[in-house]
Amino acid sequence: MVRFAFCLGQSATNRPFASQSTHNRAAANTWLVVRASSPGPPLSEEFACYSLPYGALGFVSHLFTYYTIFLLSKGRRPLWPSRQIKASKFDIIIGLIGLCVTTAMGIITLVRCRHSWQLIMISIWKLAVSWANTLTGVTTGFIALREKKKQKEQDEENGYISLLGWAGLISLLAKHWSVARGHFLALTISWSAVMIILAFCFQCDAENTTPDAGPDPGSIKARQDEVYNQCSLGITKSIAFLPALYCDWALGIMTGNLVGVPTEDNSVFYWTYFVCKRLTMFSW
């Protein structure tokens, strides 16, 4: 009996050291480990792996991104729009740094979210927008103005990648719709209204910028085709880029974190991605 008590006491004495050893081994490689109970905003376990900007911060990040892409595609400096971009090694370097770092942060998110195909699709979608931004910055290091045909091809590619993101987002919306039905409905109606207004604006702009056709039926047909092409290009750009803004707010609603403040585990990846995505704004 005494021997049994001694062994039991010895086992109880060693248990904390064994537990500590197990904890140390588990903590040895935590950079890809997702902890749902991290300090910060209350994220569900499903979204704890996601370390890219979303919510209000993601919305602001995408606005900066679209502003940068628009000015760089016009050969203008984002921080000084009245000045033309000059071909320089500096633009190429900061573009490549932004491309490499944001891609690395995106890959880390993909690995961390490997058990959720929806978040994988959304992460690929967000990476595509980031690539459009950084590759535009790299391009300005070689040429002052981008070729119109090349811009159109890239917009179409981003539109196709957006479909992947939409697949993941719609699946998440269907899963969480009942939790915040009113918020999702208000967001969807607002976003749809913006898309309709933009389509109308593209139509008006195409009508105003396309030269008037003569009485010849061939000229009238050519003008109609030109108006259609301009509207299609504008709508394609909207489909390629604007849904990311909807996704930012939708993820904010799902996580109960509309601001999009990252958790302690995600903050390094989150802010590194956020800052490096802004490097192309300094193209000169």
φ, ψ (nearest 5 deg) of residue 53 = -60, 140
Higher pLDDT, 31 or 212: 212
Average confidence (pLDDT) over 211-237: 61
* Radius of gyration in angstroms for the set of CA atoms belonging to the chain, rounded to a whole number: 25
Angle among Cα 106, 109, 112 to the nearest 5 degrees reads 155
Q: What CA–CA distance (Å, rounded) separates 192 from 256?
A: 23
- Taking all residues of the chain, what is their mean pLDDT, rounded to a whole number? 74
Residue 153 confidence (pLDDT) above 60: no
Looking at the DSSP bridge assignments, the partners of residue 84 are 76
Residues 6+ apart with CB under 8 A from 105: 51, 52, 269, 272, 273, 276
pLDDT digits (tens, 9 = 90+) for 201-223: 766 666 666 665 555 555 656 66
Average confidence (pLDDT) over 10-29: 43
Residue 4 confidence (pLDDT) above 50: no
Residue 179 confidence (pLDDT) above 60: yes
51-60, 104-113, 149-158: the lowest-pLDDT one:
149-158
Assigned token pair, 155:
């917009």
pTM: 0.71
How many Cα neighbours within 13 Å face the side chain of 199? 10
Average confidence (pLDDT) over 247-262: 91
1-15, 162-176, 239-253: the lowest-pLDDT one:
1-15
End-to-end Cα, the chain, rounded Å: 83
Decide if 72 contacts 85 (C-beta within 8 A). yes
Structure-derived torsion over alpha carbons of residues 148, 150, 154, 156, reported in degrees to the nearest 10: 70
74-78, 255-259, 260-264: the lowest-pLDDT one:
74-78
pLDDT for position 211:
60
Quote the percentage of the chain above a pLDDT of 90: 23
